């Protein structure tokens, strides 16, 4: 325990290995290898989350379009209007976020490949 305090060692919260605080991790609870893996997969996690958002938006819009009866210019209930707005927001927001995460994933992967 004394050696751990003198060398300022920490335990990684992911892999349970000890690492030195001065190894570039700063105040992080992750060792440098776990931190690097987490940073590499950040954009992939965001793409998955935005993809789920797009699918939810498509499901809501599909429900709305299947529940419409008659012509589109007929009176719609406020619930259907609100669902259309929410579904559109989910779809467009997910599409924007997915494309942004994809851009940054490609940008960072090219930079990482040149460094190797």
pTM of the model: 0.65
The answer to whether 21 touches 82, Cβ cutoff 8 Å, is: no
* Higher per-residue confidence, 73 vs 30: 30
Q: Which of 31, 49, 41 has the alpha carbon at shortest distance from 109?
A: 41
Report DSSP letters for the chain, one per residue: -HHHHHTTEEE-TTT--EEETTTTTTT-SS-HHHHHHHHHTHHHHHHHHHHHHHHHHHHHHHHHHHH--S-TTS---HHHHHHHHHHHHHHHHHHHHHHHHHHHHHHHHHHHHHH-
* pLDDT-above-70 percentage for the chain: 77
Q: Is the pLDDT of residue 78 over 50?
A: yes
Instruction: Sketch the domain layout of the chain as residue ranges.
Output: 1-40, 41-116
User: For the stretch 98-114, what's the b/e string if a residue is b when 16 or more beta carbons lie within 10 angstroms of its beta carbon?
Assistant: beebeeebeeeeeeeee
For residue 112, name the pLDDT band (cuts at 50, 70, 90).
low
Q: Is the pLDDT of residue 1 over 60?
A: no
Q: Is the pLDDT of residue 26 over 60?
A: no
């Amino acid at each position: 325990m004394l050696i751990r305090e003198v060398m300022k060692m920490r335990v990684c919260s992911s892999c349970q290995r000890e690492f030195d605080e001065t190894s570039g991790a700063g105040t992080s609870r992750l060792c440098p290898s776990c931190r690097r893996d987490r940073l590499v997969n950040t954009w992939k996690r965001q793409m998955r989350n935005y993809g789920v958002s797009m699918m939810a938006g498509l499901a809501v819009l599909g429900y709305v379009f299947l529940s419409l009866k008659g012509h589109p210019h007929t009176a719609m209930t406020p619930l259907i209007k609100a669902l259309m707005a929410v579904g559109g927001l989910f779809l467009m927001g997910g599409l924007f976020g997915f494309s942004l995460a994809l851009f940054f994933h490609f940008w960072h992967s090219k930079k990482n490949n040149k460094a190797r």
